[in-house]
Structure 1
Amino acid sequence: MLEELNQAMEYIESRLDQEIEAAELARIAMTSEYHFRRMFSALAGMPLSEYVRRRRLTLAGAEVLSGERTLLEVAVRHGYSSGEAFARAFRAMHGVGPGEARRAGAVLRSQPRMSFRLVVEGSSSMEYRIVKKGEFRVAGRKARVPLVHEGVNPAIAEFIRSIGKETVARIATLSDQQPEGIVQVSDDLAPSRAEGTEFDYYHAVVTGIRDVSDDLDVLVVAAGTWAVFENSGPYPEALQYLWRDVFTQWFPSNPYRSRPGPEILRVGPSPVAGEASAELWIPVESDAN
């Protein structure tokens, strides 16, 4: 998998002055576009589109300083339809506009080329199991919230506080299968997984009951295979690190890839104060598909 990922990175470098299709990168990496985007974001720490933008603006910065082409020629060469759009993007990355950089010989920022390699640590192992489930429903209350990578998500915390205790108790009675009890469900996430992008958050249960009260939000989930991971540690950091480790450690080492579908997190108490136990359900399919 790492070899194929690095071949995709070489492809990006060869086409920085042309259109780059994520579908072609996924083909080179021998996986789905959905999984490639998520894998890249987890490994690189930024969305694919952001990396490509930064690499293009790094090369554009060198051309601006060289003075061999006009600023408009540099803009068009790197995929910008107007000088104004190029200037905005250039300033956002480098802190100065292209004209100012050329006149003053400013210090610019650089996005290095990325490559991936395996680092063997051997200090810990991940506990997981594979579960096949038939169609089920997620039933509860839903809100559209921004994605937060680290720390408490204020929008989710406020949303949960807004749900009455009686409503939560009523939702809990609908739980009739694993994962049991109240769960946190994330759905319709942006492919980039960029911080601040919005997704659907459900404070809900997993149920097979079809006749659900009209005042509850329901998400129908198709039958499929799930990878289930468990850990415990400080809340919420340990839970957020669990998601990161799944994509940066487990997927590259196992014959599965992620598939479209909601991610389900069940959080429980821990004997240690300030910590929590977690069970994370990720929709997967065999990498041989």
Structure 2
Amino acid sequence: MDVMVSVLGFMVGFSDHRHSNVQYLVRGHPYPRDMEPELRHLRYFVAVAEELHFGRAAVRLRMAQPPLSQQIRQLEAMIGTPLFVRTSRSVALTPAGEAYLDRCRRVLATVADDVHEAGRIGRGEQGRFDIGFVSSAIQLGLAGPIRRFRERHPAVHLRLHEAYTAHIVDRLLNGEVDLGVVRDADDRDDLVGTTFATESFVAVLPADHPHAGDLAIDAAVLRDDPFVFFPRWPASGPTSAIFGRAWKPATHRTSSRTPPVGPQWRIWSRPASG
């Protein structure tokens, strides 16, 4: 059963004897005990506390005064103590109201900051961004875009991870990096890729090699020559296809795919979710 508690003068006298004719009306637990104030209650309370006038607070909140007064009474009932001293001429904060005002301002400021931060993270303006890249990408001017990204998004913690193409692909699929700068990578349905550069292969030959003076050379004529190259295990499909024409069939697997003009540089990322 709801209990209406009337407190005359006694409590007010502790804060200001001029309000000795004020009557507090506070409901004793009219709402479920597990009910807690919501953000709207805090905003309403702060507006009234700063205006010290229910009419002006209602205008500020763009709402009617009766619902505002009802919400403040509801908040006081949930807390279990008056937050305002109300007279026919003025509204003032009780000691509990003054203490609660500071806390409400901090809570609302924190919530606003959290909302803005979540939005910035969602837009890629804040948070952490991991980029995987092959070391040779630096020669294509990778440092320039990274520098401009940091200038535009200073709040983003940018982390760089050097690795082979195959490793970068695995990290993209595992969610360990957000973007990869790779070369000669196979097309995949589960990654979004954009080709941004294509290079030509150059064969570095001894001066006395039979084809050292050639302006252009077919990889097949180098089939019997030893190669100084990356280990086979990180090689991608396109790279294997290109050098399959030069590797011996007896020791290396060949590919029937037509090789591109040269290695292709691609930027990969995971598809956007939702």
Task: Please classify the TM superposition score into its range, dividing by the shorter chain length.
Answer: under 0.3
Structure of higher RCO (CA pairs closer than 8 Å, 6+ residues apart): 1
Calculate the TM-score normalised by the size of structure 1. Answer: 0.18
Bigger strand share: 1
TM-score by length of 2: 0.19
Greater radius of gyration (CA): 2
